Amino acid sequence: MDVFSSQSHRTQLVLTALSACVITSTLFTAYNAYRRSERRRDLNEDVLRSIATHEEPRAHRLPVPTEGPTEETYIRPNYIGGYDEDLVKEQLARNYAFFGDEGMARVRGGSVVVVGCGGVGSWAAVMLVRSGVSRIRLVDFDYVTLSSLNRHATAILSDVGTPKVGCIERTLKQISRWIEVDSRVEIWRKEDGGKLLEGADWVIDAIDNITTKVDLLKYCHDHNIKVFSSMGASAKCDPTRIQISDISYTTYDPLARSVRRRLRLQGVSSGIPVVYSTEVPGDVKLLPLPEGEFQKGRVNELGVFDDFRVRILPVLGPLPSLFGLYIATYVICDMANKPILNPLPIKNRRKLYERLLRDLLHLESKFVGEQITKLPIDEDDVALIFEDLYLGRTVVPPHNVPARPQLLRWDPLKPLVLENCVVFEFAEAERHQKECLGIGSAGERQRPVDVWGDEVQRIVDKNVAEVEKYRSWLRYLQHLEEGPEGLEFKSFLGAPNAGIQSAPPNIDYGGASSKGPSGFWTVEYYQPYFDVDTSTVLKRCYTTLLPFSPTYFTLSSGCDLYGPFWVSTTLILALFLSSSLAASISRYLSSPTAQYDYNFGLFGLAATIVYSYSFGVPIALWLALRYLGVGEWGIVDALGVWGYAQFVWIPVSMLCVIPESITRWVLVGIAFGLSGYYLAMNIYPILSSVSRTPIMHVLDGIDPAALKADAKATRLLIVVVGVLHAGLALTFKVLFFSYYVVRDLSAGSDPLR
């Protein structure tokens, strides 16, 4: 019988399976397209209603004064192209005196692109033009609102409802008659954003969406375009804390930390100057949404775009303007060939934090009685404790500035977290070690309050409350954006996976011990990782099927375990059902009258293989990285990456019921390639950073032998991961996609291989 005949059961089964796949895919695609069109239509209607409502009262507004030159006077062609050079030099006389003719020629011949024209970008653009820049491109999709007027450099009341780039262009042409302004009411996207950066000598990143910001910085870095980035200016009020530094040296700022981490995962660790504030705000909350908006449904759909925030933080107007002025100053000096190098406040302070952290690590190892390689706090947290909580002074009255400061655990019954770490002078620290921590002393341990008094205890309690305010502020920041594109502030101020906490030994000095945070073995520890939107899980699953999609970390607002467990369990069922169906088809094609009994041993085999690989391999890799001193990855991060990487095997297992050996090999190869690419994109930046990890900086210098050993360990880990991944694909092919069950039939060997 011709197996490809329309009458053969084999052909009918294949056609039925393919038809079901095509119909299902078509239905899903049509449904998603319908949903998108409906949401776009609703958004357009809302915009039209908003514009109509805005236009009605315009006739009742106060007239704009007409004294003096009008806008039309400034933008007439004869003024733009024919402005006298002597007048230009007179207008820029102070800049010529500072930079000289050659420097100003560079400034006037330069071109700058400002992406994001809000409170930061508008001030930067104005000062660039006032300083002589002749060509500038403004990129922003947003419109002026009433709330923008407290910080925007050029917007006035009559500009409300108009594009931000429009009011900036108007003001720039009123300032400089020779300026060339290219205003673009667009959003920068990495897919087609290159044309907006063409010809730029400098790009200013003043974007407040973290995903777009990271994409822009990565694009500029890859294409050797100079870029200066603004970090978070919201919820801050101290102008003395504003700093300029390379992004690799930023401290305190959660936005800078999140951007730095995402860029590092994409291979960009330094080389981008930024302006940021070291201030950590206290009692600051997100601006609330009206209760009626929550009752209408999902509030994340109120955003202009799916990946843009809905709620915002309060902003004190002068701070964004200062950020913009810092940026303009830096860019102008660089264009004039007088760059600002190594800003002084950051240059040596970092070494102090490194020493404090190194000494604390050494003392904690003595305290717990075993060698510790990583603390649950890092250099940024040390800076927070030393500078913000204790103001660079010892906790003991009269609170002198310590000549040799030292950090120590305060209460030995509590874990080493921000609230339980204090600043001592060296002599005070030695006393605390002996009398409270029992380091180097065989005597009975005493309570810290009994050693140092009630006044010191009140200071520690006060700082505990301050830390809780900081944590509350970060929790608000983490909910800036609904859905999968939220900010990512992991391992800041004691996040769950910040590192392994050094647990104190069992100490009893006559009092009840306080209950610390949820432990690693408690249900409460893992509960937040299962509280995730289904849409977020599905979006992360889709990215594993697209070779050029964002990786797990650049897409997510934080790791989860719900998706990996769901993917692994579904894959087990898919492997068992598809292999059983394939064996049934094979038996039927060999002997139509034969009866097939399902082999439930395959189910146990599938569960063992999938769970062992999805959870055993990432845990082993995480332990290896911890041994090498790499703290960038948490154990939940590793489990998340490996779990989602297996998603591609679910549709492949369903398609492998097709009774064609070549087809099954091709499908297995595709799944191997997609999942391998996904793993490589996520873990290679981590593995490649082994030789640059903080463990090397614990020493005064880098040991070349240790550096070489770490490089060998990195290559070994890459080889091991690749071999295990290839072994998984081959195991799936041999055990579940081979139709080997028919060897038990009297018909003989499998005719379909």
List, for residues 684-741, the tens digit of each pLDDT value. Answer: 666 655 444 333 333 333 444 444 555 666 677 788 888 888 888 888 888 887 765 4
What are the start and end residues of each CATH 3.40.50.720 domain in the chain?
Answer: 71-284+316-346
Q: Please, which residues have CB within 8 angstroms of residue 612's CB and are 6 or more apart in sequence?
A: none
Q: Which two tokens stand for residue 441?
A: 């002393």
How many residues would you count in the chain?
753
Please give the model's pTM, rounded to 2 decimal places: 0.47
Cβ contact 665:733 at 8 Å? yes
User: Rounded to the nearest 5°, which phi and psi values hold at 136?
Assistant: -145, 140
CA gap 268, 257 in Å, rounded:
13
Neighbours of 73 (CB within 10 A): 12
Which tops the pLDDT comparison, 616 or 284?
A: 616
pLDDT of residue 465: 82
Which residue do the tokens 């108007």 mark?
170
For the cut 50, the answer to whether the pLDDT of residue 491 exceeds it is: no
| pLDDT level of residue 71 (50, 70, 90 thresholds) | very low
Q: Please, which residues have CB within 8 angstroms of residue 355's CB and are 6 or more apart in sequence?
A: none
Average pLDDT over all residues of the chain = 74
pLDDT of residue 374: 82
Chain centre distance of CA 358: 27
Task: List the one residue out of 721, 592, 750 whose CA is nearest residue 661.
Answer: 750
Task: List the one residue out of 289, 312, 330 whose CA is nearest residue 232.
Answer: 312
Chain centre distance of CA 633: 13
Cβ contact 562:530 at 8 Å? yes
Query: Percent of the chain having pLDDT more than 90?
Result: 20
Q: Please, which residues have CB within 8 angstroms of residue 500's CB and are 6 or more apart in sequence?
A: 374, 376, 626
Which whole number is the average pLDDT over 364-377? 83
CA gap 706, 108 in Å, rounded:
50
Cβ contact 279:470 at 8 Å? no
The answer to which of 160-169, 192-201, 269-278, 336-345 has the lowest mean pLDDT is 336-345
Task: List the one residue out of 340, 472, 449 whose CA is nearest residue 396.
Answer: 449
The answer to which of 110-124, 142-156, 336-350, 484-498 has the lowest mean pLDDT is 484-498
Give the C-alpha distances (Å, rounded to integers) separating 707 from 214, 687, 690, 713. Answer: 30, 13, 9, 10
List, for residues 515-545, the tens digit of each pLDDT value. Answer: 344 455 666 666 667 766 777 778 778 777 8
User: What is the crossing angle of helices 635-645 and 617-627, to 10°?
Assistant: 140
For the cut 90, the answer to whether the pLDDT of residue 135 exceeds it is: yes
pLDDT of residue 601: 76
Which tops the pLDDT comparison, 165 or 376?
A: 165
pLDDT of residue 444: 80
CA gap 204, 121 in Å, rounded:
8
CA gap 656, 735 in Å, rounded:
12
pLDDT of residue 95: 92
List, for residues 218-257, the tens digit of each pLDDT value. Answer: 999 999 999 999 988 877 888 888 888 888 777 667 778 7
Cβ contact 656:582 at 8 Å? yes
List, for residues 310-366, the tens digit of each pLDDT value. Answer: 445 678 888 999 999 999 999 999 999 998 876 655 555 677 888 888 889 888 888
Q: Give 105: exposed, middle or buried? Use CB within 10 Å, 0-12, 13-18, 19+.
A: middle
For the cut 50, the answer to whether the pLDDT of residue 624 exceeds it is: yes
Task: List the one residue out of 74, 45, 68, 61 whose CA is nearest residue 159.
Answer: 61
Q: What is the helix (H) or strand (E) element at residue 139, kind and residue range?
A: strand 135-139
Question: Which CATH architecture is the domain 71-284+316-346 placed in?
Answer: 3-Layer(aba) Sandwich (3.40)
Strand pairing category for 421-425 and 405-409: antiparallel
Determine the Cα angle at 728 with ends 727 and 730, to 5°: 65
CA gap 248, 259 in Å, rounded:
10
pLDDT of residue 43: 72
Q: Please, which residues have CB within 8 angstroms of residue 291's CB and are 6 or more apart in sequence?
A: none
List, for residues 668-683, the tens digit of each pLDDT value. Answer: 888 888 888 888 877 7
Q: What is the helix (H) or strand (E) element at residue 295, kind and residue range?
A: helix 291-296
